[in-house]
């Protein structure tokens, strides 16, 4: 009797861990089942397919990643290596990232302490991260001072807003001799556009609102963000390449990075099929109906992911703070740096191409009953 094709997989027979393995070697040799295996598949998908020269990689960031040091440890190395071409992040990640670029500190603490005592001592807690309330006040003062500058007094996308902010953070880093601390500054230097899907939902947005009360005229236009991000994805395809999304967490940034394809197809009426590669790390369940846990298969039904590319989709159910350092180490070990695409510098060109295709498609806006997912 011939062996079942279901038994054609490689035997599970790893060598004992010796203690001298690199992270990449440990992943390849011992991450053989369950979510460890999904993480190994994610590492290989990233390095073997997503980082090919013709693939444009977008990354979404949700959760308190930068306060935990992952901006410095993982995100900046990925940007410098050319492994991330554009970003959608919560504003909170960018706000707390800026503390480091200003030379301010966050400290390791404990989650099981009295928050009343912390409040009495002027200490702020993000689970087991502690920092002084003065860190917030100093960062707020920095943002308000910068946003008051003349160059901010007009309507802009969040990519332009963050690029301009990033220049000031980079200048502060240079003055303090601490380059490499701020993800926002690193994206500015690399020409990586950074979007925020909900700009009012963070301390950066709160300080921007304060400058409006003073008579400032800096306005963030979400419609610009929607069209600019769609233009990045469309250009990736029209230039003969592919589009990849690396989703760290879920939430609004996940939907915002994925809705680029429904914006192209459903709303603008431009022929397209969806993102080519999908990699997500999440701790959200799919059965609650929330977007954070929605599977790539569900995304196919919305036009967000190309159905023919569904085999090139991996979801790893684990904590991003565990997976992101491992993904980063694996990628930097197994793949050489890529040339920087500097998509921020091409924003007007790419948006112009989107406008031309929209005009050629003769689109008149969405028809009844085709509202997109919230």
Give the CATH number, domain containing residue 145: 3.40.910.10
Residue 22 lies in a domain: no
Residue 195 lies in a domain: yes
Concerning whether 304 is annotated as a catalytic residue, the answer is yes
Catalytic one among 181, 242, 254, 304? 304
Residue 149 lies in a domain: yes
Question: What is the per-residue pLDDT for 2?
Answer: 66
CA separation for the pair 216, 152 (Å, rounded):
9
Question: What is the per-residue pLDDT for 327?
Answer: 98
Taking the alpha carbons at both ends of the chain, their separation in whole angstroms is 53
pTM score above 0.85: yes
Question: What is the per-residue pLDDT for 370?
Answer: 42
Question: What is the per-residue pLDDT for 363?
Answer: 47
Question: What is the per-residue pLDDT for 223?
Answer: 97
Instruction: Name the 3-class secondary structure at 305.
Output: strand
Question: What is the per-residue pLDDT for 287?
Answer: 86
Domain count, the chain: 1
Question: What is the per-residue pLDDT for 372?
Answer: 42
Q: Which domain holds residue 165?
A: 30-359
Question: What is the per-residue pLDDT for 345?
Answer: 98
Long-range contacts made by residues 162-171, C-beta under 8 angstroms, separation at least 24?
A: 162/94, 162/187, 162/188, 162/193, 162/194, 162/195, 162/196, 163/187, 163/188, 163/193, 163/194, 163/344, 165/94, 165/98, 165/204, 166/194, 168/142, 169/98, 169/101, 169/102, 170/101
Residue 11 lies in a domain: no
Question: What is the per-residue pLDDT for 296?
Answer: 87
Question: What is the per-residue pLDDT for 291?
Answer: 84
Residue 189 lies in a domain: yes
Structure tokens at 159: 């990519």
Residue 68 lies in a domain: yes
Question: Which residues does the chain have with pLDDT short of 50?
Answer: 363, 365-374
């Amino acid at each position: 009797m011939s062996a079942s094709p279901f038994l054609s997989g490689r035997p599970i027979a790893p060598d004992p861990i010796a203690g001298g393995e690199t992270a990449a070697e440990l992943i390849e040799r011992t991450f053989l089942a369950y979510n460890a295996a999904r993480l190994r598949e994610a590492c290989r998908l990233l390095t073997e397919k997503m980082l090919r020269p013709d693939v444009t990689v977008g990354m979404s960031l949700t959760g308190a990643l930068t306060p935990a040091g992952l901006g410095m440890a993982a995100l900046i190395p990925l940007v410098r290596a050319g492994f991330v071409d554009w970003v959608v992040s919560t504003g909170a990640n960018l706000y707390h990232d800026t503390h480091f670029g200003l030379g301010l500190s966050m400290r390791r603490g404990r989650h099981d302490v009295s928050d009343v005592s912390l409040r009495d001592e002027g200490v702020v807690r993000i689970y087991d991260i502690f920092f002084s309330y003065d860190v917030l006040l100093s960062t707020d003062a920095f943002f308000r001072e910068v946003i008051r500058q003349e160059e901010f007094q007009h309507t802009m996308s969040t990519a332009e807003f963050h690029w301009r902010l990033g220049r000031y953070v980079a200048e502060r880093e240079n003055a303090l001799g601490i380059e490499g601390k701020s993800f926002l500054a690193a994206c500015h230097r690399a020409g990586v556009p950074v979007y925020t899907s909900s700009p009012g939902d963070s301390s950066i947005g709160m300080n921007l609102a304060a400058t409006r009360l003073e008579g400032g005229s800096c306005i963030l236009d979400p419609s610009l963000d929607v069209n600019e991000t769609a233009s990045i994805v469309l250009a990736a395809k029209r230039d003969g390449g592919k589009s990849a999304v690396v989703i760290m967490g879920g939430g609004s940034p996940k939907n915002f990075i994925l809705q680029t394809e429904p914006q192209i197809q459903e709303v603008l009426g431009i022929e397209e099929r969806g993102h080519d590669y999908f990699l997500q790390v999440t701790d959200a369940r799919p059965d609650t109906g929330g977007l954070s846990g929605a599977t790539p298969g569900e995304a196919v039904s919305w036009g967000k992911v190309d159905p023919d590319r569904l085999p090139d989709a991996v979801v790893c159910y684990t904590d991003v703070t565990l997976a992101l350092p491992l993904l980063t180490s694996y990628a930097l070990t197994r793949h050489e740096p890529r040339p920087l695409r500097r998509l921020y510098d091409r924003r007007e060109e790419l948006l112009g191409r989107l406008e031309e295709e929209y005009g050629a498609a003769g689109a008149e806006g969405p028809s009844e009953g085709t509202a997109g997912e919230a």
